[in-house]
Structure 1
């Protein structure tokens, strides 16, 4: 049977957006999580292009619940700050936002900050959008290096972007940026929607996969495990086979879980219990 270290499973607060940060943290601790992927959306953490709230206060609070921030994830799909923003003013503000995100990540001790290539005018030539993503990531990479952070870039669904929605595109992006602090994140939902397999990802990117968003799906939907069709045991076996030691962020975004996120997490972590080492 495949195994998983409990510390690798990273609870995420996006489906707690209508609840306080304290309620999210208390729920994670009570349910047996040890690590969180810190979703930086309101009301949990204030981050914008002008600044961010006290990171030492955040770190102290998280640790008071016996938890650790493994990954820092600025909101990078729903809000105004997007890597591929095409408007010059939006580009300026986005650069400030992600720069601040990297600095905050370093201050709380997170070694990984997740992002993607959302944004861009969908009537624009996709090559221009892609080139802009390369240029932005090249500018952010030295900031990440200075703060001890690796940017993990995920693919997304075609409803979210016109670029970097497949494994070959992500490989091309990483080769173009060519920086040790810009690596890959595997989102199993985007992977499934693209008709790709986890084995293909590992064969293509190997140890450059530094983080995963690891929810269940059909393949659409970021669901709790058991509500989708993904083969959990098979996936975990592949993680063992390819010696993946990174985090598995539980990015649960389906609205059905927003009313009682703690109960959703209770069911979700129960699916992993047989595999914890």
Structure 2
């Protein structure tokens, strides 16, 4: 039997960019989390600087607090990392970074490596950037497969990419890459901005929805639940109806309104997700709803 969604909500260091990683792990453990999605950025886990021993130290620090790294997410939206770059040197160095990230994911004990399509030039045919993305993702997923690692692809918002920005784009990219170890990420904000729904994702991908970023937005943003306008109850109900059994990360960013106190924002979000899950589950077996009062 699949554990309730609240038990599969992963914490992350997305909101802790300006705080020590140990502070993040302490907070996640204090909030009852057992899983963490690790963002591969400085100062916590900068891929170009992180050696195997340091990665194993992060894994041990997490384990000491009852946490497991379930997804490794190297930085890949900010310049200069771009596996679809029209600049040959930038693209080559980006691909090397992702290969190294795959190795680090193994040292961290993660089952998943998080990927995006990169971005083509804004003044070139979209097909050119698309072709480079297909080749790049094929190279990275092929190397990850040799290591026994599963990869997941997240559609981005249009301000972040001009390639995979919708569920339909992601379906086409998975088909073009044709890697058996490549699944998709359902990001609730990216989906809302693109006009996609949870139902769309499961219709297109089924069991290949392998990771979720469960975050509020208006419709964009990386907001704590209750600070945006998305319907958490509908999202949680749809995930439950489709039997989603993977992890869902609350993706709060540390450069914005939550940087000074990320724990309280996560705590509010966890409480909202738990309430939504209880509603989606309906009455417990044997429970009888109280009779309505006469009017």
Do both share a fold (TM > 0.5)?
yes
Q: Deviations over 1:149-196 (max 9, x none)?
A: 111001011101111101111111100111111121111111100111
Match of residue 40 from structure 2 = 40
SS in 2 for 1:72: strand
1:99 aligns with 2:75: no
Match of residue 205 from structure 2 = 205
Match of residue 265 from structure 1 = 266
Q: What is the alpha-carbon distance in structure 1 between the residues aligned to residue 126 and residue 51 of structure 2?
A: 31
Q: What is the alpha-carbon distance in structure 2 between the residues aligned to residue 230 and residue 128 of structure 1?
A: 35
Match of residue 285 from structure 2 = none
Unaligned runs of 5+ in 2: 282-295
Is the Cα–Cα contact under 8 Å of residues 71 and 110 in structure 2 kept in the other structure?
yes
SS in 2 for 1:37: strand
CA drift at 1:94: 0.5
CA drift at 1:250: 1.3
CA RMSD in angstroms comes to 1.9
Is the Cα–Cα contact under 8 Å of residues 118 and 133 in structure 2 kept in the other structure?
no
Unaligned runs of 5+ in 1: none
CA drift at 1:200: 1.0
Match of residue 236 from structure 2 = 236
The residue correspondences of 1:157-236 to structure 2 (distance < 5 A) are 157-236=157-236
Q: Choose 1 or 2 for highest CA Rg.
A: 2
Counting matched residue pairs gives: 276
Q: What is the alpha-carbon distance in structure 2 between the residues aligned to residue 212 and residue 86 of structure 1?
A: 30
- The structure showing larger relative contact order (alpha-carbon pairs under 8 Å, at least 6 residues apart) is 1
Q: What is the alpha-carbon distance in structure 1 between the residues aligned to residue 45 and residue 70 of structure 2?
A: 16
SS in 1 for 2:257: helix
Match of residue 147 from structure 2 = 147
CA drift at 1:50: 8.6
Q: Deviations over 1:188-224 (max 9, x none)?
A: 1111001111101111111111111110112111111
Is the Cα–Cα contact under 8 Å of residues 3 and 236 in structure 1 kept in the other structure?
no
SS in 2 for 1:256: coil
CA drift at 1:51: 5.4
